[in-house]
Structure formats: C-alpha cells, structure tokens
Amino acid sequence: MRLHSLTLRDFRGVKDRTVRLPALGTTVVVGDNEVGKSSLVEAFGLIFDLPDDSKSTRIRDIQPVGQDVGPEVTAELTLGGRELTYTKRWLKNRSTELAVVEPDGRRTAWTGREAHNEAERLFHEYVDPVLWQTLMVSQGQSLILPTPADAEPLITAVTAESGTPVDGASMPLVSAVEHEYLRYWTRGGRATGDYARSEKAVAAAELQAAQALKAMDEVQQDIRRAERLTLDLADVDGRLGDHLGTVEEVRERKQATDEILLRRDSIRSRAETARARLVNHTRTRDERERLLDEVERFTKADAELAERRTDADTVAKAAAETVQAAEAALAEVIELKDLRRTDVQEAERRVSQLVDQAELERLVGQQTELIDVRARIVAAAAILDKIKVDDRLFEALEDARGAVVEARAALAAGVPEVVVRRLGAEPVELSGKGVEAGSGRMPKELGFDETAELLVSGELVVGVPGHVEVTVRAGGEAAMLRSRVDDAVRREKELLKQAGVKDVAAAREQLRRADTTSAELQEARRTERSLTSAGDPGERIAVLTARLGLGDDDAEQSGGKPAAVEGVPGQMSLFEEFSSPLDTLFDDFELPELPVDDLAAAQRVLDDARAELAGVERLLTDAEFAAAQARKAADEDRSEAQQARARSEIAGERLAAAVDALGAARKLLDDEAVSAAETDATAEVEAVLEELTTVQEQADAAGADQVAGELADALVVATRMQGERDTLRDALRTTEGRLEQSGRDGLATRRDVADLELAAVRNEHESLQRRAEAARRVYETLGRHRAEAQTKYSEPLQTRIEALGRSVYGPSFKVWLDDDLAVAEREMDGIRLPIEALSTGAQEQLAIITRLAISHLVSTGDGSVPVIFDDALGWSDKARLRDMGALLGRAGDHGQVIILTCMPDRYEYVPKATFIKLDG
C-alpha cells in the first residue's frame, strides 16, 4: 500500500487541507501543536473503519464544536496494484464514493454502502492489520517495541528469505497432537479434563482410606491411653493422701506459734510509741536551744547597728553642707554666663545684619543678569516658533529639487528642441501648450533678430501671418516626461509652501538660523538654571529686605534698561528684533544705604565675645561637675544613713520577737524540765527494746515466721494434685466413651471398603496417566522442532535489525529476538542487557530501527504498508539524532516513510527528505 494524498474538510480544527505525499522516500510533515498532524492518521483510519451513517462517538468527536457541518475525508492510495480514490462524509449530507483504477486501466466506481464494503474488502485483502498497527506509531507510543510474530506478510517474507517452511504439510499433524495434548493438559502444563478429574478421584480415595486407617489407629491409641490413665490415677490418689497428712501437721505448728507472734506485735507497737515520744522531747530541746542562741545573737547585732547609725547621720549632715556651698558657687557662674551670652547675641545680630546686606547686593546683581537671560530665552523661542524648516523637511526639499532637475534633464534629452529666429520684417507668432523656454516663459511674438530656444513636450505652433504656419508635436514619451516634470515641480512647490520659503537656499538659511538660535536658547537656559539653582533670587531679596527692615519708600526709582550681558553669541541679532515683557520687573532697583560699618571689626568683636563665653562655659561645666559630685556624695551618705537606721530598727524588732518567743516557751516548760523529759523518754525506749529482743528470740527458736509460708505452699501443692486427679478421671471417662462408640461404628469394615475403592481408582488413573504422558512427550517433541524452525526463519529479521543498528551504534551491536519476534535483549561493546534496562532514548531508537527492518523485509510485496511515526525521537541526543536521521533517509529508498512532528530540528539530518509545512 502507498498513500498518495489525504484531504480533510471540517475535521476537528481543520477547515480544508490537502497533503500530498511521495510514494517513495521519507516525508516529514511539520506543524505546530493542534494544527492537525495527528488528525491525518486518525482520518485515514476512520475512512476505512466506519461507514458514513455510523453513530459512533469517534465520529462525533471529530466534528468541529458548535458547527453544523459534516467531517469529510478523501484518500488517494495504491492498494494491490490498484489506484483508489476514496471519499467519505459523515453526519451531514452523508456520502461515500470509491473509484478504482485497475492495473490494465479499467475504471470502476461505487457509491454508498457498496463503496464502503468494497473499500473495506480491498483494505483487508491487501493490508495485514497486525503489520499496519506495527508500522503505524501513534503519538506517545514511540517507546513500545513491536511484536510482529502474527503479521502474515512478515512471516511470509522471512520464510522466503530463510528458505525454511514454517508449517506446511505438518499443520494437520500439529493440530491433532495439540488437540490430544489439550485433552489432558492446559497450555501451561497443568492437568485438565478427565485426567485432572482422575487425579482428584485418586486423591479423594487416598484421603478416605487414610481416614479409615487413621480411625483404626486412633482406637488402638485410645486403648493404650485408657490403660495408662488408670495407672496414673491410682498413683495420684496415693500421693495426695500422703500430702494431706503433712498439711495437717504444719497447720498444728502454726496454731502453736501464733501466740508468740501476737505478743511480739504488741511490744513493737509500744516501741514505736516510745520512739515517737522521744523524738518530740528531742525536738522541744533543740527548739529551746535555738531560741537562746537567737536572743544572744540579736542582742549583739542591735548594739553594733546603733553605733553605725550614729556615724552615718554625722557624715550625711556634713555632706549636706558641702552641697549648699557648691550650689551657691554654681549660681554665680550661671549669672556670669547669661551676661556673656547676651554680649555674643548682640555681636551675632550685628554680623548677621552686615552679611545680609552683602548678600542682598549680590542677589540684586544676579537678578539683573537673570532678567537679561530670560529676555534672551523669550526672544530665541519666538524665532524658533517662526521657523518651520526642520531637518526632515529640508531633506524632502532637497530630494524634490533633485527630482525637478532630473525630470527636466530627462525632458530636455527626450523632447525636441526648437530654435526660432526672426530674420525679416514680418512678425513671428508663437503659441501652443507643453512648451518650455530656456529663459522663462515662452514669448508670444519675436522681435527683429530675436531668437527663442524652446523644448516642446506638447505642441508648438510657429506662424508668420499670411505666409506660413509650422506645427511641432512631441511624441508619446514626451508627454510622460512632461508629466514627471510637472509632478516634481508641484511637489517642490508644496514643500516650499509648507516651509514658508521661496527656494531651497532660503530653506537652508532658515535651517542654519534655527540651529544657531537653538544653541543660543540652550546656552541661555543653562545660564538661567545656574542662576536659579539655589532658588529664585527675587524671593531671597524679599526675605533679606524684610529681615533688614527696609520698605518700598527706601528704594529710589529711576528709568533705564539693564545693559546686555557681554559675550553671548548672536545677542544683538536676537534683541534688536524682540523685547521681553520681563524687562521692567526689577528696573532701577537699588539697595538702600545702611550705616557704614566694618564687617571684619564686627566679626572680631563676635569672636572675642564667643571666647569669653566659652571660658565662662568651662567654669560652668566645672561648677556643675563639683555640684553634681557633692549631690552624689550627699545622696550616697543620706542613703547609707537611711539603710543603717532601717537595719537598726529591724534588728531591734527581731530581738524583741526572740525574747517574746523564749518567754512564752519557758511559761509552758522551763529549761530544766525539758532536759528531764528527754531523759525519761530515752529510758522508756531502751526498756521496750530490751523486751522486744527477748520475744523475738522466742519466735526465732520456734520458727514462727516460716510456719505460715510452709502452710501456704503445702496447700498450693494439695490443690494442684487434686486438679491433676480430676483431670485424669475426666480423660479416662472420655477415652472409655470413644472406645465404646468405636465398637458400635464398625471401623474395621469401613477400612476394608476404602482400600478396595482406592485400588480401583488407582488402576483407572494409571491408564489415563500413560495416555497423558504420551501426548505430552509427542507435543513437546513437536514443539521443540518447531522452535528450531522458528529460530531459523527469525534470522532474516534479526540480521536486518543488526545491519540497521550498526549504522547507529557501531559494529558491536547485536540483538536477540523472543518467540514473538520482538527484540528481547541488546548487546554493545560486549555488554548484554534486557530491553527494560536500557535508557528511554535507546528503547525508542531500537523500536524505530525494528520497524524500519520490518518495512525493508515486506517492502517488495503487495502487503507492504507505509511506516508512520507521530512525534518520535524526543529522547535522543544530538549525535544519535544525526545517526537516526541518516537511517531514516536510507529507509525511504525502500518504501514510504511518513514522519509527523512539531520539532523539525530533530530531522534536519534526514537526507533527501521531503518537508511539508502545515500552517494553522
């Protein structure tokens, strides 16, 4: 099959597009995303799959959203030597048309369902579906390696190339063997059918026989268990009787020792009470000693703190007197500083007044210069407003002047030149149109011996009244030349009018004047910015005038205009023609004369006053520091006196509290009684402990503390032995019950019947097993021979893949195919890896190489189909793209290779490729 063209109308986002494809070679169809590349492949599949009346959602999906139109596809292709033109429209105005041109030139046409059926028949007759799906790689499927074992054209091609028949006459035998094998085994080798059921029956019979035998064994075991349980029960009964006697003896010993333990517990209680009483008396004695120590310690501390308090009060009084003296000295220095500050302020006012006067004089001069500069700016701006010529307009004027000169030169060279001269007395009259005189306008009549040189682009009439009339007419080209002259002159006049000048020279002069004026304007503006950089001088003059107390009545008015500023280029050319409205803003302003004084002398007076003020300030700093130090020392002494007074008061309070606490304690119990009570409590504790020691010796001698534990252990053992006896009795009753039931069930008869049934089932199963094993041996032998043949006919495909791959990967490239003819492993540089272990790019490249190898093998037969790659080589590096491009180019020499992509750079290395650009 070869695809020649595809036409899509109203198909998804495609309005109307036709793509023509070469029948042989590599074609790269390039287009942006969503431009409709993948729609080409989809349309070709739909036209053969679905009739025009199909209601499939696949058809609804290709209809443009919101448009009531019918998607239409037309395909031109060669199929089995026949040329087909197949057109189909769905949904709206449905139609199907098929035209077939036979190899001998006969043409046949079908319409409607007949056309669909015939196209479907031809497609399935000449296109193997497995091969078509293998060689058509949709978008996103470039990583899937093909498994073409079921592609009939490929199998036919490799069989023919290898010379090894695949099935041939052995197919009936293979089918029969496979049929017999499948009676007993699944394809995975598991038992099935009668054989599987026979295995299950044997297993069931064996289980039943085993269960019967097990039941008999269990009866024998129950008999032996009953005998053993009887003996064990008699032994436990004897041991239990002996142990119960021992328990009674231990219980009697415990009753005898309980009286001794009760007396010991009573004495222990009395000992605890005596110890508690002794602890209380000891705590009372410790507290009395603590109170005595506090009274003595607080008495000594109170005396020491009273002495410190007296010393601190004396020191604080002396510090207060020192502070008073320092503050009096500080007040005197402050008064002196105020006097010196007044002198400094007076001197500063006088210096500031003189400085303001000097600044006012400078600003008035600056204002005069600013008025002159602003007048120049106004004058220059007025001149620039009058000038209409700029660089662009002047260039246009020069071009227009050149065009006029060129057109007139062409006119002079292309039209006749007529020279008329009057020789006699008869008048010579001139008239006509399209006539141009060298000296200006054409004269209507020539004087005696007068000559007129004329260029005739239209018609000239030269007449001598009553004698002769000569008419001179120019050719057709002259009219065109004349028209060019008129157009050029008209264009020049329009530009001159726009510029407001009479000729190009005047425009050049205006342009020069505009440049000079613009430079003067920029210079004046720079001067204005410099003069006003610190603010408007007028505002500063007003501030200084107000500060100096000068009014308008102090200024004298006089006429006159400020003199022009010297040295400004082109100044006279500007000011002779224009005047500024700012000229009278500060006319004749003069500073009032302040009393004459010396600024330097005033500054010296100010410096002297400041020096004296600085000396006083230093004295003030020293006095403030002395006063601060005195205050700090007085504060510290005062704080120390207050702390001494507070500590003395606290010590007195503590002493009084300690004396009160000691007096209260002595009222309850005096010091001698406290010591006597502690001595009595100690004697009582010693007596009780001696009695407790005696009773404990009696308990140890009788073993009273151990008897209770021995009795508890003996009772536990007795309980355990009783439980063991009860368990043995229950087990014996249960075993005797099972033996009685076994005798009623006839277990021996059941065992014999199960053995007979097992023998019969085993005989039947062994017969089936022999037949099944024979079928498996025949099937495996035949399969082994078929695998060997398959290995032989897979060699052509493997060889073709390796030949193509070595052009990309080098001479060490090898592959191994599985039973489905899919590439299973790859070897390079001696390293053999499964396909799953390769990188994404290597897997994609190997999938492309495999499909090109398949296409090479089937390209010469009628079953060949195009190889279509939709958006492949997305994971390849630059070097691999170059090698794969060369391989795709060579693949086009054997068949039709179609590549759809939005990245044409990937295929720039494909030689002899045809690139088709799809626009949106």
Check: pTM over 0.85? Answer yes or no: no
* 400 closest CA partner among 328, 297, 497: 497
Over the chain, what is the mean pLDDT?
79
3-state secondary structure of 823: strand
The answer to whether residues 889 and 910 touch, using CB atoms and an 8 Å cutoff, is yes
Q: Look at 56-65, 590-599, 910-919 and tell me which has the smallest mean pLDDT.
A: 590-599
* 285 closest CA partner among 667, 687, 679: 679
pLDDT in tens, 626-640: 878 877 887 887 787
DSSP-assigned beta bridge partners for residue 420: 452
Q: Specify the amino acid at residue 453.
A: E
The answer to whether residues 583 and 561 touch, using CB atoms and an 8 Å cutoff, is yes
pLDDT in tens, 735-764: 777 777 666 666 667 777 777 888 888 888
Question: What are the backbone dihedrals phi and psi of residue 880, each rounded to the nearest 5 degrees, phi first?
Answer: -65, -35
Token pair of 391, please? 């660089």
> For residue 792, what pLDDT band results from cuts at 50, 70 and 90?
low
* 128 has a pLDDT exceeding 80: yes
Rounded CA gap, 214 and 201, in Å?
19
Distance of CA 594 to CAs 353, 361, 365, 525, 587, Å?
10, 12, 18, 35, 21
Q: What would the mean pLDDT of 350-356 be, rounded to a whole number? A: 76
Measured at the CA of 171, the angle between CA 165 and CA 176, to 5 degrees, comes to 155
DSSP-assigned beta bridge partners for residue 88: 73, 96
DSSP-assigned beta bridge partners for residue 833: 826
Token pair of 811, please? 């001479």
Element (H, E) at 417: strand 417-421
The whole-number pLDDT of residue 889 equals 86
* 883 has a pLDDT exceeding 70: yes
Distance of CA 245 to CAs 253, 330, 704, 715, 720, Å?
13, 118, 20, 11, 16
Strands 468-473 and 451-464: antiparallel
CA 172 to centroid of chain Cα atoms: 65
The whole-number pLDDT of residue 327 equals 78
Transcribe 830-876 into DSSP letters: TEEEEGGGS-HHHHHHHHHHHHHHHHHHHTTSTT---EEEES--TT-
* 121 has a pLDDT exceeding 50: yes
pLDDT in tens, 289-345: 787 887 888 888 878 877 877 877 788 778 777 878 877 887 888 888 788 788 888
* 566 has a pLDDT exceeding 50: no
**What contacts 780, CB < 8 A, 6 or more positions away?**
none
